[in-house]
Amino acid sequence: MSFEIRQRDMLARIGKIKTKSGTIETPVLLPVINQAVQPVSPRNMREEYDCQALITNAYIIRKQKGEEAAEKGVHKLLDFDGAVMTDSGAYQILVYGKVEVSPEEIIDYQERISTDIATILDIPTTWKTTRDHAEYTVEETIKRAKQLEKNKTREDILWVAPIQGGQYLDLVAHSARQMGRLPFQIHALGSPTTVMEQYLFDTLVEMILTAKMNLPPERPFHLFGAGHPFMFALAVALGCDMFDSAAYAIYARQNRYMSEYGTSRISELEYFPCSCPICSKITPKDMMHMSIQERQEALAKHNLYSSFAEVRRVKQAIIEGRLWEHLESRIRSHPALLQAAKRLKKYEHYVEQHSPVTKDSGLFFFDSLGLNRPEIVHYKRNLDERFTPPKKSEILVLLPQPSERPFHKAEEIKHLNRRIRQDFPLEQELFHVCVYAAPFGVIPLELDEVYPLSQHEIATPMDLETVGYVAERVKDYIAGSSYKKIVLVEDEAWKGRFSSVCKRLKRKGLSITVLSVREKLNDRVLNDVMNTLKKLVT
């Protein structure tokens, strides 16, 4: 299999997966097809929605269509010429406890119906299962995965290895490591449906990232049952290249209207907040007067439009380098999603290591949630591990950020540097001028053109968590340095936080002078700085 990646942002990847029926561009949504109750035909999905791939259940097809499907092939059976992925019946095991097919039989059947992407018959880890049973599901699934090479006969089908373990993250990690050693082309998170149905998105973050951290990074990752467009951005940001959904049809049967921000009942709507071909022609009242079948079909079509539109928005955000900003706009639609985004703090270093170092666009910083974004974590790590102040510098002059960027070109910074050269011609190497700025902390002027230190916008006034973070970063920088004296100019926007954290710094021979001012960096403030420096030098 070839998985060609052309763009990244966070753990998201715009890439291409080649199958025998065509190329799929990721991230990709695969609508679930249920032949028994299918409000939108696969052909219609292909023609009207440009659907690249869909997923259906090989176990159900085997029970309902048997040899007919094997003779026709799944593409002709569904009347769909894109890529087809098949599930093996594991969901039926999850719901009913068992299926009437063996692992070997379902492998053979998926080959006979000529699917493009096939799944082994894994044993799902149910949400409330005991640890002993969870261990069984993991080991049995690994055992079945190892048998695939002996049982399969075709080489043109991509095989999916589900990762089991459920809420037991150590078992998820073990499952991922073992599966990652086997020659599968795609991996998937097994049994996440209950987690998502209960809106346990913080647990979902843990499960996905635990699996991702222990799998070969070059293989695509599928999330079963992702469902709702309001969580697509989160799933993609976590590295889910593929995800399927039956929600468009299930919600339609319940008179529920999907949008990228949540779900509404048709009876509760007066206006449709959408301009898709369905919503632009009728009102919610008109839809309620349709027959049940007409209403379900119209709702299913809208729900598909909403889902595919959100996938395109996510992809465009990746292209622009603004996936984090798009993610922030989505997660604030539900507290459970915001709670999940906060869980990213635990994995910030892993996400940072797999994120682009630079982008074509600057970043927008709104509040303390953004402190977890990869660019800020990357700068923090590099400053701590790789930056060394000039060798002869003994006095750190730490100023609030000026209005102009890059900071070293600001008139007040240039003016201060001129005065230092004039007043201390022999001692100017003793001084090291830096600024502090949200959300990064200390910014040496030597680095202020490094991305994104001069390529960002921040909302003010800052929240207290952001103020506290910057103050702690200043403290950590000073604590890890070899300066002998510190002159720190603190303006009123920082609410005395620097004075507070500096009091906790106890290093032998370290002198700290804090100048509290109400103004920005004007001539009077710079005069106070110069007078303080003269006292320190003499």
- Whether 87 sits among the annotated catalytic residues: the reply is yes
β-bridge partners, 256: 265
Distance (Å, whole) CA 489 – CA 508: 22
- Measured on CA atoms in the order 252, 257, 263, 265, is the torsion positive or negative? negative
DSSP letter for 241, please: -
Distance (Å, whole) CA 486 – CA 512: 5
Nearest to 242 by CA among 185, 169, 291, 320: 185
Distance (Å, whole) CA 68 – CA 40: 22
* Six-digit token string for 510: 């370290």
Catalytic residue among 9, 87, 202, 244: 87
Instruction: Decide if 65 contacts 88 (C-beta within 8 A).
Output: no
Q: Is 24 helix (H, G, I), strand (E, B) or coil?
A: strand
**Residue 253: CB atoms within 10 Å:** 14
Give the strand pairing for 441-444 and 431-437: antiparallel
The helix (H) or strand (E) run that includes residue 188 is strand 186-189
- DSSP characters for 467-520? HHHHHHHHHHHHHTS--SEEEEEEEGGGTTHHHHHHTT---TT-EEEEEEESS-
CA distances from 397 to 152, 290, 437, 534 (A): 69, 72, 14, 13
What positions carry a catalytic annotation?
87
